[in-house]
Amino acid sequence: MITRSTFNSGQTGEYLAAAELARLGFAVSVLGGIAADIDLLAYGYKKTLPVQVKSASHKNFRFDARKFVSIDFPEGQSQIVNGPREDLDQAIVIALVSIGGTLKESDITWTTIGSFSRCLAHYQKWNLGRLTERNPGTRITTTQLILSLNDIRKELDELRTEDVLGVSAPAPNEVF
């Protein structure tokens, strides 16, 4: 069985999202890591969309929650989730790409960064910032999340692709 490295999964997800945006009529540029928060720039329908892609090859997404959620670790207490980070660029679109064994088995969920960060901010049940002891007397904190696409979808605001991207998917044989 061939496994994908994190880098290859990320790259594959970026290209799948770029292909879907192109299919929807956008001109797309893959930025290849030159911008910290943006993986793709898509232009079409008189608007530019900055896109951040999150990819998973085994149906689970792994990432640091602090990228989207404000979390504090007061001394001697468990974590405090303050809510979505206020410094996020609300124009950013999130593409959650679940990479299947074939293109037909791959899936893309489009959402806004605001909806995604609000979704994550509700979830101390996802063990955000669970405190762990690695060495006696040393407290190590972690904010790594491992979430399934189904778990994320259950909590996202009800946004359709049309709501996020501002365009509906063309019929398979439609010329645009």
135-145 per-position pLDDT tens digit:
445 555 667 77
Per-residue pLDDT reduced to its tens digit, 20-74: 999 999 999 999 889 988 999 999 999 999 999 999 987 788 888 888 988 887 8
Give 42 or 2, the one with higher predicted confidence: 42
Structural domain boundaries, residue 153: 6-165
What was the pLDDT predicted at 5? 63
Distance set, CA 40 to CA 18, 34, 74, 131 (Å):
7, 10, 36, 35
Q: What is the CATH number of the domain that holds 17?
A: 3.40.1350
CA atoms of 147 and 126, how far apart (whole Å): 8
Is 22 among the domain residues? yes
Q: What is the pTM of this model?
A: 0.81
Per the structure, the count of domains in the chain is: 1
Q: Does residue 170 sit within a domain?
A: no
Residue 68 DSSP one-character state: T
Per-residue confidence (pLDDT) for residue 133, from 0 to 100: 44
Q: What's the pLDDT score for residue 104?
A: 80
